[in-house]
Every structure is written in C-alpha cells, then in structure tokens.
Structure 1
Amino acid sequence: MSSAATTGGKRRRPYFWEEVCSGWPSGPAEQGRRGLPAWAEHGLRAVREGLGREPGSVAGMRYLHRVELTDEKRNAERLPRSYEAEHAALTLFGLHQHGAAEPVHRPGIGIGTACHSLRLHLLRETKEMEEVERRRSDQEGGTNGSQSLLFKDTVGRRLFAVSTALDLDELVHHLRSLLPLMRQAGVGLDYTRLHCDLCDWQTPRHGRVLRAWGLQYNAPAPEGAEGAKGKSGSPPAYWAGFDPDRPHAAAELAALRSGLSEEPGTVPAMWAFHRLRMSNELRDRGALTRDLTAEHTALTLFGLHQQGRKRSLHTPGATPGAACRRLLAQDGGPDRVAVERRLGTLLTSLSADELAHHLRGLVPLLRKADIGLDYDGVRQAVRDWDDPYRPDAQSRWRAKWERDFHRESSKV
C-alpha cells in the first residue's frame, strides 16, 4: 500500500477510504463499481457491519484502522478519541459508498460544502418536479397545484441536528440520515477531514469545526452569479431587509439573540442570517476573522434591539451618539448625566469586545424609547475598533459619535 505525507513530514499509511478511492477502477461508473478489488469489497462489508457497534468490537474492521493501539490503550477503560472517531468515519464511509457508482471520498469537501451542494441539488430537483406537475395539472384541467415535496429546508434541518449533537454517538446518528441523500445526489465528502472534525468534537477545537461547517453551508453566491444581490454582487445585510410583519420574524430575532455571548460562527441557529463573503480557504479553516466577529456582534445586537418592536430599528445614519442625543430629548427619559456616562464608557472602549459589551448595555434603552441605530455603521465600527492595520479608525469613530451627540437636537 502507498503512504501519505503528514504535516510533520512523516509518512503514514493512507486511511481505508483513501485506499478505496485510489484503487477505484477507471472506466464507466457502473463498470468501476463492479470491478472493485476484493480487498476493497471485503473492507466495505466489514465497515458496514460496524454501524451501531462499539469501536473495536468488529473483528473485520480492526485491520482497516490506521490509528494504532498499544496494549495499554487497548486495555484502558475507554479507547482513544482518535480511534473512536476513525471507527465512526469508517462506518459512515461504508454506508455512503454502498451502491455508489463513484468514490464518495472527495478531498477538500467538508460537511458544510457537501450539505450546500445537496441543498442546491434538491432545489433543482424540486423545481423540475413542480414544473412536471404544473404541466400535468394544466393538461388535466386540475386546480390542486403542485404536490411535490419541498426539500429546501430538509438539508438545513438535518445539518442543524448534526451541529447541535451533544456527543459523538448523537453526531454520527444524525450524519447517517444525511448520507443516503448525498449518495443519491452524487455528493461526496472528505472523510479524512471528517475524521479530524470527529476527533475535535466536544474539545476546545469544537468551535472551529462548527464555524467551518456554517461558513461552508451558507456560502453566498459568487459575485455576478444567479442569486447574487446588490450592484457589486454582495447580498444586503439581514437587518437591511428585515420586515417585522414577516410570519417568522419573531423566531428569526430569537435565533439572533441566542448568539449573545457566544463565539461567532458557532451558533447554528444564526448561520442562515450571515451574509459575509470569505475566501474558500478561510471558510474551510473555520477562521475567526474580524469581519465575521463584527457581523455576529451586529446581528445579535439587532436581535436584542428589534425584540417586540413593530417597525424596523435599523436606521441608516443613526450613530450611537445621535441615538443618545435623541434619548435625552424624550420626555421621561434618563437624565443627562447618566446618558453622558454611558456614552463615555462606550467611547473609551479599548477593544472591540469591550465596545460590543457597552453597546449591549445601550441597546435596551434605545429599544424602550423606540430609537433606531445604523447597524451597517455598528458592524463597521466593531470591525475597525482595534484593528492594528487601521490605527486611526478608533479615534475617527469616537470623534464622529461624540460630534453627533453634541449636535443641536434639531439636526439629529
């Protein structure tokens, strides 16, 4: 068998799924599936036998593991996390590959990317089914309309279940429900990456895994492509198109508030509301960038601010300084000293995290007074506040907000 390079320069034996992929016969898809080597067929049967079984309990799978066990580890109360994760990846690969005409191990395709491709496939399939049923209904003079199944939410719901799993067993259980759909749609998965993700589940690296999945799944359409919005192809921010009268508006705001005090990109309920463009490399790494942190902060603050309000409180041009000035102008509002003290602590924030903390304290006062904020500006300010490559940005934001606060009320 061949070997593969590791990050440390050492050589390792390829994982079983990598060996199956490299040993797949060339030629037509159906012919290739029938021409699999005997060792691959035997191994695929063995890993399917491991579904629902304890790691290390299936004799036929033991030689397929590449995570080595010492006698001490084998006799320990619990097997190493990496071994349990490899068992899960092997069994999922066996289920995915079963009956597939092509190798399902696709290097570079993460869970989020695979689910994104599956969602697009099912949407196209649904549109085709609806068109066929519409034509049939027109021919038969029917009035029942389309009766096709709408798949567009199915993948998202299943990915949400996967992403909120509390342990490895629950995670694998939910992944099993996705794999038959992926196989039917011809969507593959990078099982080496999946093995790494399973190893990192419920560890300090858990957030990176979730962030990568969410960024991949919610990747916006490329600029200029069908579905891209805006003059430059950038989709507008969620708050810019928010309609309080939408049927699910309250549920959407609750999803945004669930991200308060959480690490950006790690809240599956919020994934659908991000509009950030990011390179594929950063998405795949689950990178925690300044832009992602700023958008997350603005989304959670907007969810808190908009709660229970009948009009959109995203108000272009309304800076925190201008909003505090309007707060003073209202009858029965807080006294000037209290407002000046709150704005002062906001303006003297030393970091973006501190700025977000003080904004979170201001927003409930503005909501109570029905005063809006410019969330495009909030996002940009949080993004720039402590950026070492923009050393003058913080002072510019401070000066603008303070100037807006002291402006004559008639001009606010």
Structure 2
Amino acid sequence: MRVQLILAMLVVASFNLNAANLTEKQQKLWLEDIDFYQNEVKTKHINPFHTLSEVEFDQYINDLKNDLAILSEVEVETRLMAITGALGDGHSNYFMMSGPHQHFPLRYKFFDNTLRVVDTTNAYRSLRGTELKTINGKSVSELFKIVSPLLPGVDNQFSAKTSFEYYLTLHKLLLGLNIVNEDEPAKFEFWHKGKVIEKEILPVSMGEFGKLSSVYPQTIPKLRNTDIAMPGIRLSYFNKKNIAYFAFNSYPKFEQVVGNCKALQTELKSAQSRYLVIDFRGNGGGNFYTGLAFSSCLLPLDQFDWQHGVYVLTDGQTFSAAMSNTVQYQQILNAKIVGVPTGGDPNHYAESYRFTLPNSKRKLSLSKRYYAFLKEPTDAIYPDIQITPTWQDYQNGKDTVLLEVLKLINQHKGQ
C-alpha cells in the first residue's frame, strides 16, 4: 500500500534539519497526545483496521514515539497525518490546518492531468492560467505520489485529486515531507505557451490565502437566484421557469428545509416548472437526512416529469452526504447523473466522530458508521452521462455540464 511506503520513508528519514527538534517538555506533551490518539482510534472508529492491520498501526505509533527526540513538531504532525491516512477511509482524518499554518498564494485545478493555476494574489497575477510543473525540482506527478497518501477527505482517485489541489498549497505539509524548507522561498516552475516561468515564492497567512478561490467562474449560462430560505441551496430558473435548477452547494439545517418546504412548493407550483436539476458539484457533505428531507419536499409535486426530467450534477468534490444523496436521488427521484464521477465511495465508512488532542489541540475525525448504498462493489458513483469540463470551458466561464443538461431537456421537449 502506498501509504505504508510513505510511512516507512518517514520513519527512517531525517529531514528538515533546519527545523527545531522538540524540547523534552514538548516530547512529553506529544507522547500524551499520541497515546490519546491511539486509544481514540481503537475505541471510537467503527472498524479501524479494515485496511491497515492493528499490528502495523501499533508499530507506526511505537516508531513515532521512539523518534520524538529527533523530530520537530511539523514532522510529528506529518507522521500522524500519514498514520491516519493509512486507516484508509475519507472520514478518518488528521486536520493539520487546526494548528498554525500558512499557504503558498496559489489555487490549483486539474484539467485532465494538467494542474493549472486558477487564482493567485495580485503579486502573482501573471501566473494565472499557467501550468505548474515543479516545486523545488519535484514534478507534479512526483508530488502527487508523495502527498496523496496523507490527504484527508479521500475515498477514491477523484477526491484524491481535489484534495491534492488544495493541500499542495499547505506550507506546513510540504515542510514535513521535506519538499520545502523553513524560512526559505520555494522554487516554482510553471509553463505557459511553451515558455518556462520560474518564481521563488514564500507562503502567506491563511487570511490572505482564504481570499483565493478555485470555484468555477460561471458566466454561461447566467443565473438569477430566488431566495428559498434554505442556506446553501440556491434556486434559479431556465426556459421561462420551465426548468428549476437547484445549486446545492452546502447543507442547511434539517429544520430549515422542513420549515420552508411549503413555501418552496408554493414557489415551484407558481412557476409551473416541469424539469428538475439538482447540482451537487463542489458539495463536500453534511447531513444526508437533510438532503432526504429536501427530496421529500419535491416528491409531492406532480408537475415534474419524474420519468425523464430529473438530473443530478456531480464532480470529484461530491463527497459524503452529497454523494449519498446523489445515489438516493438516482433511486427515489429516478434522476440521471451527469458530470464527473463522485469523490465519495457509495459503500463507505462515514459519519465523523471528531475529537481534539488534549495538549496540541490538533483536531481529527474518525468514521463511526458504515453505509453500503450499492450492492455491487465500486469506488464512486459514475455518471450516466460523463462530461469533463476543459480548461477552455473554465477560462470562458462556460458551464459545459449544465449546458449539456439544458440541451438534453430541450431535446426531450421537442420529441
């Protein structure tokens, strides 16, 4: 297993020699945290050793304890992140960003196997649209092999890519993996129109990085939202309100859906919408019972074409509850799935138990339930119609997936 290879490398590696080793007091505090972590994994995860054996887990923990005297804090965190990644499910995670951290001021997005810079701070505006090639001499493919086994929120190759896009910016993680050095700019190499661009870049604060985005810059088609008092869910219409489009970006509270259901039904009845599109792209999850409440609010409306007129849109960020609701909507709403395979596995360990290490205050999560939404083994929900947006689409603000669904609906109307 790739994670185990990375852990073996971290056990014997002596890296970041310029980072300060833990003091005796810090070692004692981290030892308490590691013991606490080990007990939580064994007692709170529903099945902690479904992928990594208990013997291997204990060995990695013991190796970490024995190495504390020669490690820096960031190296301890990297090892804990790797051990948690080795548990092998997307809801068991070490959240390295729960401690002090910085980011490189770049946001990335994959288009095929090309990693593009889609947003930057103003100081690096000229890099937008370029292709990242290397960081300190390591290629993107090398970086992916090193970083991806440690990443949180990963069920399959699709969520691995989306998590990598984000965590490749996390300075502390790259420092712990000996990819960058403390207090030194990293050497980045980009390609643009056949030319190499080299930059030395320092990390910035989370506050500054947080202003950047990789969200699809959708301008085609243009959307006008109707407030439905369900935070995280936006309603828009197409074709003179014949098509109701819900951008389900995040999960409102269960009570907000139930409490505003009648008003939404009244709105949709007034619009006389015939077709229904629910967009789960970019939705990392929440409470899937809220999603079921939302579908139960829609189901009584006989105006919709429940045989041919319901579509759900997905991508590699469709994870956890959003993935669960996707497969449920396919079953109970007779929806066609369009877009990119989900980042979530429909047969998966889920429902996060979250805890905090007593001394370092670092935060983690463990899976406490198991769901099998599909009988056949698979790693994702694969769309009925698979459409992968291109870099040209992204640049032009063209939502190819949504446009294709609108085209399919218009074709059906014409039959």
In the superposition, the TM-score normalised over structure 1's length comes to 0.24
Task: Give 1 or 2: higher helix fraction.
Answer: 1
- Greater relative CO (CA pairs within 8 A, separation 6+): 2
Which has the greater radius of gyration? 1
TM value normalised by structure 2: 0.24
